[in-house]
Amino acid sequence: MKILLIGEKGQLAWELIRTLMPIGEVIPVDYPAFDITDKSQIEDTVSAIQPDLVINASAYTDVDRAETEREKALAVNAEGPGWLAQICHKCGISLIHYSTDFVFDGTKQTPYTESDAPNPINFYGLSKLKGEQAIQNETDSALIFRLAWLYSARGNNFVNKFLEWAKKYETIKVVDDQVGNPTWARFVAEATAAILAQSFCGGSPLTDWVRQRAGVYHLTSGGEASRYDWACKILEYAPDREQLRVKEVLRAKNKDFPTSAARPAYSPLDCGKIVKVSQITISNWESQLFSLY
């Protein structure tokens, strides 16, 4: 299997590259050599590589800046993936794409399922929702995985930010009224590989196998945590704890940290659908975090 992986520099793609190697030949690309907002470049790249599968792990992820850079966010998160899906469909290639919990408004009191109606409260979430819709309008052989609160040992994420703060400050305030699923990028990569590996058992072409399972799936850690809960566990599990300056983590509220974009207060995702379809195991968020170290 030949896999075109878009978004080579991102934390998820870095995990996907190493995890997908047993599945097939991985050909990673990223900006500026590959620009997902350039339709002709997408077409030329797909034509030149002729992959069996395309995985789009690229995204515009700056939630606050998306409020003012709307055209850019829309181009990367919606228009580009739509063109990619169109070209994949024309060439008979399956597509895997990653979306977000931020397609929901956070007003529900129980984890969101795929049947719940999206209602994003910031432009980043809207752009990702439009990306989902564009893909589904253009191809019937795509898997869309909604992720949440993604982190890894590298890249710009809450775990790395918190550890940097912990080196500088004795007291850190973290909000306890944002609740979600802290999800390890390696778990997502391994789950993606495990799902793809199942396609080898059916005997049917990959495009048909994906078509039979096409749609949106939630793929996150199990359980739920507030940002405060998450921060406390990061501190508890952190290696070289004696080198950190922080002495206490205090509870705060979302209103204490005004931002350009609103965040959903409660956005845990229910992964029951993907477990039923693929039989993968959803590990708890605490065990995923512990495995990071």
Give the catalytic positions in this structure: 124
Separation of alpha carbons 229 and 182, rounded Å: 10
Residues facing 129 on adjacent strands: none
Q: For residue 261, what are its two tokens?
A: 């974009």
Residue 98: exposure state from Cβ atoms within 10 A (0-12, 13-18, ≥19): buried
Separation of alpha carbons 162 and 221, rounded Å: 20
Separation of alpha carbons 236 and 221, rounded Å: 19
